[in-house]
Structure 1
Amino acid sequence: MKTQTMQSFGMNKELQKKEARELFNNLETPLLKYGQGIQVLLKELDLNQVIAKVNEEERMTIEAPQGVIIRSIQELNQEELETYTSLISATENKFLALHFAILDDWKIIIIPRDMTVKGPIIITSHISKKAKAESIIVIAEVNAKAEIIERSSSTEEAYYKSQTVQIFAKENAHIMFSSIQELSPETYNFVIKRGKVEANANITWLDATLGSKYTHLRVQTHLTSLHANTENYSLYFNQGKQIFDLNTESLHKTRQTNSNMLCKGVITENARTIYQGRILIEKDSKNCKAKQKSENLLIDEHARCDAVPILEVENDEVQCSHGATIGKLNEENIFYFTARGIEENIAKQMIIAGFLEPIINKFPTEEIQEHIRKNITERITK
């Protein structure tokens, strides 16, 4: 069903949308439940409204250095469609069925063989009204290297955004995909990112989740060949009544593959975060190395965080670690600063900024790093 649906898009866009719409009508809304007492209830979200509010006018824009190839979905042949739309399917759940039912904005980025892209590829996505779905496919050919920066924003009139990202890193390819999400606090945000990593290749995911009313973010990487590697670094800062539902997964499909996941976040006011980090190492995937850690900082009394580390290892010949911490501002650290003449509010700001800095430093350009720091500073001082 998945391949048929994706092929239909290339051949007949309206047929693809019709099939996805039928799936949407027949599928139940997923229960966003992650264990005893851990559940998200989206009582105000009306998925049927989304279809009636589709905005097909606005498009993502891409600024790419010379040599990078940008294609449309219609330019893919049948074999390419089967290969490069294989990681995500409309049949998986109601959210994805809705995504493909309203999808009208595809961007395909190809990094040619042996090319090292000079300078970042910039993707800009802005929604000024209604609802929108967009899909990004990145194909990194053998020995290709590139940094991609994706920035998302919206106005208060934007109700719903849905995005899928699929990255295919072929042998010895290296891709860094950075996302800075600054949607309006009135926008629902659903994002599915998946990557397939071949021999000696690497995908690095970087996420700064700052905006939206509700964010449903899923990042999953398939390590399919010897010495495949992935890194996943994410930060978040939520405030008001924002809800962030975050999930990262590394799937070790073969031996001698490596993964590292680190998430650091700050929760303030009445906001809530759920973070799940999952490592799966299959039975024959020996001599793998995998790390997963989340560090979460609660600033206010009513802020809430649920951290769920998951480790599934089907053989003993691996090196794995996982863990999660949820804490509050350290009073001793605050006292250290105030004893040296620094006001308490300033001391708290410095501690929070320093807490997130290890992730900020991993973003690829100084301009982006400074932009994230400024956003966080504004939130801290609000």
Structure 2
Amino acid sequence: MSVETQLRFDREAISQFSKANQEPEWFLQKRLTALDSFAELALPKLEKTKIDNWNIDQFQPFQQEQELSTADQLDEVVKAEIDLTAAKSLLVQKNASIVYRSIPEELAKQGVIFADLATALREHGDLVQKYWMQAVAFDEHKLTALHAAVVNGGVFVYVPKNVELEAPLQAVFEVAGDASLLCPHVLIVAEANSKVAYVDTFVSAEGQSLVSNSIVEVFVGNGASVQVASVRSLSTEVHDYAFRRAIVERDGKMEWILGEINDGNTVANNTTILKGVASQTETKTVSVGTGAQRQNLTSQVQHIGTYTESNMVSKAVMTGEAVTILNGITKIEKGAEKSDGEQAENILMLSEKARGDANPILLIDEDDVKAGHAASVGRVSEESIYYLMSRGISRQEAERLIILGFLEPVVAEIPIEEVQNRLRQALERKLG
């Protein structure tokens, strides 16, 4: 079933944007093919969440912004989220434009590519083409097709064989202004025995009817190690759709660290495909739902190779009338012997009107494996609140401390201190 909508853009607008950015012809054709598919495809099927009435495509996709000469000129919402003195490698995108970049020369000397998508398409088009939409297919559903048609920025990371980067590569994505779109595509390629950490932050300024539709694709080579951390703090005016997927080869390791701290409606799907022997992945997700917010958050691992390992931990806190669906899916394919897949989803509710569903799913097609799951949905203990209040702490502060304590075991495991601090700040802001 498709949803009929009247778009605010057409093939000509897409072609003009593509030509203005000097994109190769193959990329424009992929855009136009995706636009044609968009009209025919259905929305993604989500567990217990209907998004038919959400803002999916009512936006102006190519709103341009002026490039800035110094970091001091960045919007306050951006400067509040990142330590500009510590960020050695940084790209900042606002709407459909890269407004700031700081890329040290030593990266290029190591053969590393860290570039915005438009630059990567111009200077490394063949390499981008090799991996573009190979992990996430453009025609999976209506939202992926729309993303492929109107993608308006993003980041390309390429780390050669045996190169290990100690400092994280960072990006900030900002959406602002009425009916604006933030549609970045992050493409990370880590060759054999390389190491890289990538961190991004999503923020929003003033504006109504905003949309964020992002895709992350990660390709982890033999023995490579990749960390991807993302903290999203978009406002109630933003409908946020995020699809992330990694393909991990032999002895590779993929780690996801996700802070879903939006105030608006959110759909996120995070999938890792353990393709190679002894490949492994960890996913840590923290989320907070407030007001009338709706969230559907899915973490999924597909075990294909033998001796593969996965561990997923998701923690959510619900207040007001918020609804959060936490889906954990571990799929062990036939032939993936000696695999081990573990997952846990925990939801803490602070309001009688809030609703949280934790859905652990194990799909096992092989006998010689280990797999397990745990799930819990509960309310804050009145005894714990009373104990803290008896020490002179207000009820509101007591609840806040209990929430932070509930989430801290996941936050504390984040291996990048700056991301820990950024996530704690986002949690403090949302919890008031």
User: What TM-score, normalized by structure 2, do the two folds share?
Assistant: 0.80
Q: Cα gap change, 1:255/1:75 in structure 2, threshold over 3 Å: closer, same or farther?
A: same
Pairs within 5 Å for 1:182-197: 182-197=233-248
Which residue, out of 125, 139, 159, partners 1:91? 139
User: How far off its partner does 1:325 sit?
Assistant: 0.8
User: How far off its partner does 1:81 sit?
Assistant: 2.0
Q: Partners in 2 of 1:168 and 1:306 — Cα distance?
A: 31
Q: Which amino acid aligns with 2:50?
A: V
Q: Cα gap change, 1:112/1:44 in structure 2, threshold over 3 Å: closer, same or farther?
A: closer
Q: Which amino acid aligns with 1:285?
A: A
Check whether the contact 1:259–1:290 (CA below 8 A) recurs between aligned residues: yes
Q: Partners in 1 of 2:34 and 2:278 — Cα distance?
A: 37
**Aligned counterpart, 1:380:** 431
Q: Partners in 2 of 1:125 and 1:91 — Cα distance?
A: 25
Q: Partners in 1 of 2:391 and 2:281 — Cα distance?
A: 42
**Aligned counterpart, 2:252:** 201
Q: Partners in 2 of 1:212 and 1:339 — Cα distance?
A: 32
User: How far off its partner does 1:76 sit?
Assistant: 4.3
Q: Partners in 2 of 1:133 and 1:311 — Cα distance?
A: 32
Indicate whether 1:20 and 2:70 are aligned. Answer: no
Q: Partners in 1 of 2:205 and 2:52 — Cα distance?
A: 21
User: How far off its partner does 1:229 sit?
Assistant: 0.5
Indicate whether 1:119 and 2:167 are aligned. Answer: yes
Q: Cα gap change, 1:83/1:272 in structure 2, threshold over 3 Å: closer, same or farther?
A: same
SS in 1 for 2:353: coil
User: How far off its partner does 1:313 sit?
Assistant: 0.6
Q: Partners in 2 of 1:256 and 1:189 — Cα distance?
A: 35
Q: RMSD of the TM alignment (CA)?
A: 2.1
User: How far off its partner does 1:77 sit?
Assistant: 5.5
Spell out, residue by residue over 1:90-148, the C-alpha distance to the aligned partner (whole angstroms, 9 max, x if none): 21111111111111314210112212212111111111231131111111111111211
Spell out, residue by residue over 1:159-182, the C-alpha distance to the aligned partner (whole angstroms, 9 max, x if none): 111111111111111111000101
User: How far off its partner does 1:31 sit?
Assistant: 4.3
User: How far off its partner does 1:78 sit?
Assistant: 5.0
SS in 2 for 1:26: coil
Deviates more, 1:108-117 or 1:285-294: 108-117
Indicate whether 1:104 and 2:152 are aligned. Answer: yes
Check whether the contact 2:343–2:373 (CA below 8 A) recurs between aligned residues: yes
Q: Which amino acid aligns with 1:193?
A: R
Check whether the contact 2:319–2:354 (CA below 8 A) recurs between aligned residues: yes
Check whether the contact 1:84–1:168 (CA below 8 A) recurs between aligned residues: no
Indicate whether 1:70 and 2:80 are aligned. Answer: no
SS in 1 for 2:311: strand
SS in 2 for 1:230: strand
Q: Which amino acid aligns with 1:138?
A: I
Q: Cα gap change, 1:368/1:82 in structure 2, threshold over 3 Å: closer, same or farther?
A: closer
Q: Partners in 2 of 1:84 and 1:374 — Cα distance?
A: 34
SS in 2 for 1:115: coil
Q: Partners in 2 of 1:206 and 1:177 — Cα distance?
A: 6
Indicate whether 1:347 and 2:391 are aligned. Answer: no
Q: Partners in 2 of 1:259 and 1:222 — Cα distance?
A: 10
User: How far off its partner does 1:12 sit?
Assistant: 3.6
User: How far off its partner does 1:183 sit?
Assistant: 1.0
Spell out, residue by residue over 1:26-77, the C-alpha distance to the aligned partner (whole angstroms, 9 max, x if none): 2233443x2xxx2324424252x23x45435433566555323125134445
Indicate whether 1:136 and 2:146 are aligned. Answer: no
Check whether the contact 1:73–1:108 (CA below 8 A) recurs between aligned residues: no
Gapped runs of 5+ residues in structure 2? 1-22, 66-95
Check whether the contact 2:49–2:296 (CA below 8 A) recurs between aligned residues: no
Q: Cα gap change, 1:330/1:318 in structure 2, threshold over 3 Å: closer, same or farther?
A: same
Check whether the contact 2:171–2:199 (CA below 8 A) recurs between aligned residues: yes
**Aligned counterpart, 1:3:** none
**Aligned counterpart, 1:324:** 375
Spell out, residue by residue over 1:315-370, the C-alpha distance to the aligned partner (whole angstroms, 9 max, x if none): 22111111211111012222332334433332222111100111211334333322
Q: Cα gap change, 1:156/1:77 in structure 2, threshold over 3 Å: closer, same or farther?
A: closer
Indicate whether 1:157 and 2:207 are aligned. Answer: yes
Q: Partners in 1 of 2:327 and 2:373 — Cα distance?
A: 11
Check whether the contact 1:62–1:124 (CA below 8 A) recurs between aligned residues: no
Indicate whether 1:290 and 2:308 are aligned. Answer: no
Check whether the contact 2:233–2:426 (CA below 8 A) recurs between aligned residues: no
SS in 2 for 1:97: helix
Q: Cα gap change, 1:163/1:212 in structure 2, threshold over 3 Å: closer, same or farther?
A: farther
Q: Partners in 2 of 1:121 and 1:53 — Cα distance?
A: 26
Q: Cα gap change, 1:41/1:196 in structure 2, threshold over 3 Å: closer, same or farther?
A: closer
Q: Partners in 2 of 1:254 and 1:43 — Cα distance?
A: 40
SS in 2 for 1:353: helix
Check whether the contact 2:243–2:268 (CA below 8 A) recurs between aligned residues: yes
User: How far off its partner does 1:212 sit?
Assistant: 4.5
User: What TM-score, normalized by structure 1, do the two folds share?
Assistant: 0.90
Identity rate, percent: 26
Q: Cα gap change, 1:127/1:264 in structure 2, threshold over 3 Å: closer, same or farther?
A: same
Q: Which amino acid aligns with 2:226?
A: I
Q: Partners in 2 of 1:62 and 1:195 — Cα distance?
A: 26
